[in-house]
Amino acid sequence: MTAEPARSARIRASDADREAVVEQLREAAAEGRIDLDELDTRLGQALSAKTYAELAPLTEDLVPIEVAIGEPLVIKGGMHGVRRSGVWKVPPVILAQGGMGGVRIDFTRAECRLREIALDVRGEMAGVRIVIPEGWTTHTDDLDPGLGGLRDRTTAERTPGAPLLRLTGSCGMGGVVVRHPNFRERRKLRALKS
């Protein structure tokens, strides 16, 4: 275990963090993955948890295995580029091809109930740019850096119940950038919520 996960495990949990775990536990009980006695026990532990380290074990055995039903979402940059942003429903599998114009995928307002999203990227000439909310994390070990390379500007601190974005494919010549929202984007998101 590295020093970073150990440090983040000591971070104090917020009411929203505890509520996210409670919701995940309720869903697991509704699906029959835990019985009502176990639900009561885990709910008590979740509501009294002070840190992420106390919350994480309550749901780590409940991560559902998502099965891709139907076709994956295919996003092609083509000649002029394409954006996927705003409110949209995230499927389990996404294919992004940068083409000549590039692809930008913004998950900050997306509806996502998945624990893991498979994103196969082909950076090609213009690359792929990805914006994920704070608390989401990425796994990029299976991504070929190509000529353009990968710039992962995300933090390793995952909010309990937040998705993991698993990147595969190749960065191509245009590269792949993954980041959290910048100051201007965060301000715009706050304005939309109020």
Write a three-state SS string for 56-101. Answer: HHHHCCCCCCCCCCCCCEEEECCCCCEEECCCCECCCEEEEECCCC
Please check the confidence at residue 5 and state whether its pLDDT lies above 50.
no
d(CA 171, CA 146): 5
Give residue 86's pLDDT band: very low, low, confident or very high (50, 70, 90). very high
Most confident of 1-10, 25-34, 56-65: 25-34
Q: What angle do CA 143, 5, 39 make, to 5 degrees?
A: 100
CB neighbours of residue 191 within 10 Å:
8
Q: Residue 70 pLDDT more than 60?
A: no
From the number of C-beta atoms within 10 Å of its C-beta (0-12, 13-18, 19+), residue 1 rates as exposed
- 169-185 pLDDT per residue, tens: 999 999 999 999 998 88
Per-residue pLDDT at 179: 96
69 has pLDDT over 80: no
Question: What whole-number percentage of the chain has pLDDT above 90?
Answer: 55
The Cα 92–Cα 169 span in angstroms is 16
Helical H segments across the chain, by residue range: 3-9, 15-30, 36-48, 52-59, 183-193
For range 112-121, the mean pLDDT = 91
The predicted structure's pLDDT at residue 158:
85
For a pLDDT cut of 70, what percent of the chain falls above it?
A: 91
pLDDT of residue 108: 94
pLDDT, tens digit, 9 for 90 and up, residues 13-60: 888 888 888 888 888 888 778 888 999 999 999 999 888 788 888 887
179, 177, 83: which is closest to 121 by C-alpha?
Answer: 177
